[in-house]
Structure 1
Amino acid sequence: MGHALIVEDDEDSARMIAALVVREGHTVVCAHSIGAARRLIAMQRPDLLLLDLHLPDGSGFDLLSDPDILADTVLVLMTGQASLETSLRALRLRAADYLVKPINPQHLKSLLSRLVAPSQLRAELAEVQEQWRKTGRFGDLIGRSPPMQRVHRQMSRVAGTAVTVFIQGESGTGKELVARGVHDLSRRRDQPFLAVNCAALSAHLIESEIFGHERGSFTGAEREHRGFFERAHGGTLFLDEVTEMPLELQAKLLRVLESGTFMRGGSAQVLQTDVRIIAATNRDAGEAVTRGKLREDLLYRLNVFPIALPPLSERGEDIQLIAESFLQDLHRADGGARCFSPAALVRLGAYHWPGNVRELRNVVQRTWVMAMGSEVTEEWLPPLGGAQLSRRREAVPPRATMTGFDETVPGVLELGGSEVVVEIGTQLAEVERRVILATYESCGRNKERTAAMLGISMKTLYNRLKEYRL
């Protein structure tokens, strides 16, 4: 049980909200102005403050001018519109959430069910930071490098709020781990965390998967289907590769972000949703807008709190730390005890890791399988670019220069120990086909790794393989 203060100038609305809060087991007092609210706070510090932004004697933000007045109070803003400005102000004030008027009782009930005191959140965050100092782990993320320390600080700052997070980074850098970490540090951590890869769903299925559909809404819809927004109610919905979402569906997502409502396919009933959105992309978001892949207005709503994930090649000391963690995971799963040789550690640190952490994990698994003794050597690690080129210079005579490849070994593109020979004058479509197929085979027909190495989305890879009849 906690003590709540409702600051709302509309007396009928204040009574309705108070009745809902009392029903959830809290004591309540109401104030209809900033002056009255200050007097009530002086008498008893509230555990929860539901604050209207438009009051007769000023803005609700005026009540928060003293940062210490509500240091251990859960702040929830009430506003007539969930605008970008409201989101940014809520972030600066570390507001737990904001409610859009007229207040939806179900949304308020869901919010009250996950109340956690700021002091408790701070204690839990301090525990996570202490674990990071000892082990290099920040939740499921591993890394001590300066770029990752910046990411950890951003996660710590945004987790306790309700604002939308937009993660940008190359494939395989751990965008879903960051989203999961933000969820686990938030007040929503006991509610569902659902992840959907927008690139892996067909254009025909993605709307139904996200918003759901009614029975009989289209051919084959034999039963009612609850989409991700319904199943993630009260929790977090992670939209990975959001730039691959069809533009007409992006408009519907924008409407959900602005109004908190949506409709199932084939239904006229408006449903309320209480879901925090975390989106991610491996594209340059600005470029995606320019190319017509992402709506500009949707980018503004998603990009309230951006987090940029660095590629593994920029994380220095983290490479060895992550590789050894993967090795320990294999120890626990399969038994035995192995370690990397000094030469292997040097090779791991020198390699450029185009597939990022995902590629590193696959490499560690492969070397674990191939290692014969207690030591994992460099034998089965990826060859370094310089060493590859020096061997190719000795073995292959010079040919005509081709822009983008090594000038001494023109027309040859190295791919994990194999090569693709392209003659001058070859059509670009054929060059693309050869490179994709060679990479696909080099990766053991692993589509995720192939897409990561080529720097393309899973959807693009699927389309190309379908075109090549694979």
Structure 2
Amino acid sequence: MPTGTILVADDDAAIRTVLNQALSRAGYTVRLTSNASTLWRWVSSGDGDLVITDVVMPDENIFDVLPRMKKMRPELPVLVMSAQNTFMTAIKASEKGAYEYLPKPFDLKELTSIVQRALEEPKKRPAVDLDDAGEGMPLVGRSPAMQEIYRVLARLMQTDLTVMINGESGTGKELVARALHDYGKRRNGPFVAINMAAIPRDLIEAELFGHEKGAFTGAQNRSSGRFEQADGGTLFLDEIGDMPMEAQTRLLRVLQQGEYTTVGGRTPIKTDVRIIAATNKDLRHLINQGLFREDLYFRLNVVPIRLPPLRERVEDIPDLVRHFFTLVEKEGLPAKQIDQGALNLLRRYRWPGNVRELENLVRRLAALYPQDVISENLLEQELSQPSVSPMEEESQETVNLGGSVERYLSGYFDTFGDALPPPGLYHRILREVEYPLISAALAATRGNQIKAAELLGVNRNTLRKKIRDLDIQVMRSTR
């Protein structure tokens, strides 16, 4: 029979009653309070074996109290609950020393299971202050699927475990990788990303591990690789399923031995990086086809995270739309709102391009239309294009871009009346043009970057940099 005293703090009487009944039935002694000051008095006097508390209390935010609790009683497990179900809430709970974070509404069976585990195996977590960055949260959404991701990320922040992120294109895999880095123990080190699909297969090893002078034709000087650049920080291997077998073998050796040699080099180099990999492919299927090493898969898939497509989390669309409108307003575009009919239309849309497609749509709406409120009728015009694949869709956007720019220019200055608009118009137009233009060129050349660079009339290295910066997915050539 479980034993122990549970201290419960929540200003909602109904929640206190439910928790009291559930925990008492489980065999625990329960003490209830509606404020943080009483909870602090109990903890400071040595009462209680575990704390369950809400974040926002009438007299104080629990995140201001939690560091004092952990300093006085570092062994005391604290379960934090919150209806403010954001990524930052989960991260703050972990960084401030909470044993676990539970979004409201919570599952009573899960809560009692966590209580039992916490009392049987109390854990100490380092308490690291986290700056209040709520306005700049990297991940947005309050759906159950996103809540589970927040909880997993919070548990991983103070570890160096290798993570494999799986999700369709546009779901935010690099955002998750950056969050793991920016709020983790390696936050003061570099974050280096490399997209396997955007680099010629014969250059991937040199990009990853660097090369010595004369290692191959054109290697006129020694060059550092991404492992060297990421030393002490995080290396994000995006689209790992596109890595050729030869590079897979070398990567496996690095993960096993913690060292590598440059291309053309002989001296082993020690490496200290955290690896985060991502893919939109089924690696198990690639293994069965002989295209991906099974032993490498197990080395990378230590902690798997699946990012849901937007169609599986449509309840997050209003928050995402507001978030993107806020971002574009900070970039100098006019403030916009969206009516309920338009939101309902967004929820019904299939979103083949996921969150990235939604962000691009919001940017177009903010840039091209003078209306302060985006209506359902206006949105229907933007979403009325025939159903096409994502790559074809990007190409179609480019075809229609000239008319879009004309609409933008004709309506943009009218929005500000006699006043001058904020500076940066050139770069805003350029940003709207580059993504669909480069995507269309890659689509027309079946992903052949050399031909795409020729088509665009730019240097190949310039194109590769643009592909990385804009996070453009490159279709593999079949020619």
TM-score (ref. length: structure 2):
0.57
CA shift for structure 1 position 369: 2.3
- Pick aligned residue for 2:127 from 115, 120, 127: 120
- Identify if the C-alpha distance between structure 1 residues 438 and 236 changes in structure 2 by more than 3 Å, giving closer, same or farther: closer
- Stretches of structure 1 that go unaligned for 5 or more consecutive residues are 1-68, 73-116, 389-415, 420-434
Please tell me the residue identity of whatever aligns with 1:417.
P
Name 1:275's counterpart in structure 2: 273
Name 1:461's counterpart in structure 2: 475
CA shift for structure 1 position 338: 1.7
Secondary structure at 2:477 match in 1: helix
CA shift for structure 1 position 71: 5.7
- Pick aligned residue for 2:203 from 200, 205, 221: 205
- Pick aligned residue for 2:395 from 423, 441, 462: 441
Please tell me the residue identity of whatever aligns with 1:461.
M
Is 1:306 matched up with 2:304?
yes
Q: In structure 2, what is the Cα distance between the partners aligned to 1:436 and 1:311?
A: 14
- Identify if the C-alpha distance between structure 1 residues 437 and 204 changes in structure 2 by more than 3 Å, giving closer, same or farther: same
Matches within 5 A, 1:132-151: 139-151=137-149
Task: Give the conservation status (yes or no) of the 8 Å contact 1:213–1:225.
Answer: yes
CA shift for structure 1 position 202: 0.4
Name 1:327's counterpart in structure 2: 325
Secondary structure at 2:161 match in 1: coil
- Identify if the C-alpha distance between structure 1 residues 324 and 440 changes in structure 2 by more than 3 Å, giving closer, same or farther: closer
Task: Give the conservation status (yes or no) of the 8 Å contact 1:355–1:449.
Answer: no
Name 1:417's counterpart in structure 2: 386
Task: Give the conservation status (yes or no) of the 8 Å contact 1:339–1:376.
Answer: yes
Task: Give the conservation status (yes or no) of the 8 Å contact 2:173–2:278.
Answer: yes
CA shift for structure 1 position 417: 2.7
Residues 237-279 of structure 1, C-alpha deviations (whole Å, 9 max, x = no match): 0000001000110010001001100000001111000000000
Please tell me the residue identity of whatever aligns with 1:170.
E
Please tell me the residue identity of whatever aligns with 1:442.
Q
CA shift for structure 1 position 186: 1.4
Please tell me the residue identity of whatever aligns with 1:208.
A
- Pick aligned residue for 1:294 from 292, 295, 298: 292
CA shift for structure 1 position 451: 9.2
Please tell me the residue identity of whatever aligns with 1:441.
S
Q: In structure 2, what is the Cα distance between the partners aligned to 1:448 and 1:295?
A: 30
Name 1:50's counterpart in structure 2: none
Name 1:361's counterpart in structure 2: 359
Name 1:187's counterpart in structure 2: 185
CA shift for structure 1 position 350: 1.4
- Identify if the C-alpha distance between structure 1 residues 354 and 191 changes in structure 2 by more than 3 Å, giving closer, same or farther: same
Aligned-residue identity in percent: 41
Residues 354-391 of structure 1, C-alpha deviations (whole Å, 9 max, x = no match): 10011001111112223222112234536799xx7xxx
Secondary structure at 2:331 match in 1: helix
Matches within 5 A, 1:207-356: 207-356=205-354
Residues 384-422 of structure 1, C-alpha deviations (whole Å, 9 max, x = no match): 99xx7xxxxxxxxxxxxxxxxxxxxxxxxxxx3378xxx
Q: In structure 1, what is the Cα distance between the partners aligned to 2:441 and 2:298?
A: 31
Q: In structure 2, what is the Cα distance between the partners aligned to 1:300 and 1:286?
A: 11
Task: Give the conservation status (yes or no) of the 8 Å contact 1:199–1:458.
Answer: no
CA shift for structure 1 position 167: 0.4
TM-score (ref. length: structure 1):
0.58
Secondary structure at 1:166 match in 2: strand
Secondary structure at 1:461 match in 2: coil
Residues 160-208 of structure 1, C-alpha deviations (whole Å, 9 max, x = no match): 1111000000000000010011111211100000010011000122111
Please tell me the residue identity of whatever aligns with 1:196.
I
